[in-house]
Structure 1
Amino acid sequence: MRLLRPPGVYAPLEDTQLLARVAREEPRMPGADVLDVGTGTGALALVAAESGAVSVTATDLSRRAVLAARFNARLRGLPIRVHRGDLLSSVAGRSFDLILSNPPYVASPGGVPAKGADLAWWAGADGRAVLDRLCVQAPSLLRRGGVLLLVQSALSGVGATVEALTAQGLRAEPVARETVPYGPVMRRHAAWLEARGLVAPGETKEELVVIRAVRS
């Protein structure tokens, strides 16, 4: 899928591709009202619109991402609504059948970065700064029987995500895994990750995991 991606907008990589494959096979997709949280270029929102969703909404904190997602949707003639806001703030009060998200999950040194481009991947020292917020906020927007699909690195604590979603009343489990070479951000932080004992010395790959959570 060729997409407009302005500087500073997250490029769809293996994590987006893995989640897209799972989303295309999701039984809840046909006829669903879908929300894509942290849409970036709009890649996952486009997958939803092309996979039978009846309505697709996308959100992102980045102004450039919002404009890119709107452009990519219009280029394909797909009626995707894109809103700017922090996680779910711009869709408060609404409900959805299916929520997709490829949130920032890279464990990173230092405080919150000032640059918008870095915000696309920054997730705090444990990789959970955004994941934990998403696990608390997303369940309340799911309709009965609704599904949350999110992708993260195994380094960011798959068990912690499952436990957090379970605490919100969802039935959560990993449904897909794929080991991929480090992306540019992971390569940049490899020495720091090794020093903290999060990865083995000389490691060059990480495991990506898709978690599916259902509101029963």
Structure 2
Amino acid sequence: MTTAEFDTFTSTHVIHADPGVYAPQDDSWLLCEMAAQSGVVQGARVLDMCTGSGAVALAAVTLGAREVFAFDISPLAVACARRNAAALDAEVDVRQGSFADAAALEPFDVVLCNPPYVPSEAVPVGEGPHRAWDGGRDGRVVLDPLCEAAYDLLAPGGTLMVVQSEYSDPERTEQMLRSAGLTVTVAARRSISFGPVMTERAAWLHDVGVLDESRDIEDLVVVRADRR
């Protein structure tokens, strides 16, 4: 898929997000864009973890994936992703489950993930839209388990791409993935203005020493890891 074709996808495919389900935003589209530019999705068996509305999984279908699975722990997200796939007549196997549930399947050629990564005062519990972004005090309540599961999720020659904020320690993601035996690079880094969640949380992030008081932008980082 060329950049122009990707722009056509994002402008013409309407992805609905039900109440309580994460609507695709800059991080979703950056992950899709990097997957498109990498060329690894064509003909691949793809896993979209933390699928939310299913936007990344649907992009994988458009990119020519051979088979697409999408997982989320939220039943609301699973129902929403299934409806979006049906509306676009896209073959996506959407399931409720965790990294362990996904790892119980055959390994994947490509794993894509836009996890919750915004630092939060408390570990997220219960249902609700906050589960799509709250990542615990260091933003890594989902990122760390992903890094631990990554090697087993990937088939030999497979590729993981995960998007996160600079405020959830992408260097730790790189270190954990390398320690797992994967080859790691930073595929993209892009600055965006704070959205509503980061704007609301900025004072607390400053108080705990994560954020400079005058800063109102964040870098989104896409980390790529390859299993050889």
What's 2:6 paired with? none
Asked if the contact 1:42/1:73 (under 8 Å) is kept, the reply is yes
User: Are residue 120 (structure 1) and residue 154 (structure 2) matched?
Assistant: no
Q: CA deviation at 1:89?
A: 1.8
Asked if the contact 2:123/2:135 (under 8 Å) is kept, the reply is no
What's 1:44 paired with? 56
What's 2:184 paired with? 172
Q: Which amino acid aligns with 1:48?
A: A
What's 1:75 paired with? 87
Q: CA deviation at 1:161?
A: 0.3
CA distance in 2, matches of 1:90, 1:19: 20
User: Are residue 24 (structure 1) and residue 36 (structure 2) matched?
Assistant: yes
CA distance in 1, matches of 2:123, 2:223: 27
Q: Which amino acid aligns with 1:166?
A: R
Q: Structure 1 or 2: larger helix share?
A: 2
Q: CA deviation at 1:202?
A: 2.6
Q: Which amino acid aligns with 1:24?
A: A
CA distance in 1, matches of 2:38, 2:85: 21
Asked if the contact 2:103/2:152 (under 8 Å) is kept, the reply is no
CA distance in 1, matches of 2:123, 2:67: 37
Query: Over aligned residues, Cα RMSD in angstroms?
Result: 1.2
Please give the residue correspondences for 1:79-158 in structure 2 after superposition, counting only pairs within 5 Å. 79-158=91-170
The change in CA–CA distance for 1:157 and 1:188 in structure 2 (over 3 A counts) is same
Asked if the contact 1:38/1:87 (under 8 Å) is kept, the reply is no
Asked if the contact 1:60/1:84 (under 8 Å) is kept, the reply is yes
Tell me the SS of whatever aligns to 2:38: coil
Deviations 1:132-184 (A, max 9, x none): 00000122021111000000001111110000001111001111011001112
Tell me the SS of whatever aligns to 2:149: helix
Tell me the SS of whatever aligns to 1:36: strand
CA distance in 2, matches of 1:183, 1:45: 23
5+ residue gaps, structure 1, are: none
TM-score, normalised to structure 1, is 0.96
What's 1:162 paired with? 174
Q: Which amino acid aligns with 1:46?
A: L
What's 1:204 paired with? 216
5+ residue gaps, structure 2, are: 1-12
Tell me the SS of whatever aligns to 1:103: coil
TM-score, normalised to structure 2, is 0.91
Q: Which amino acid aligns with 1:109?
A: E
Give every structure 1 segment of 4 or more consecutive aligned residues whose post-TM-superposition deviation is greater than 2 Å: 110-116
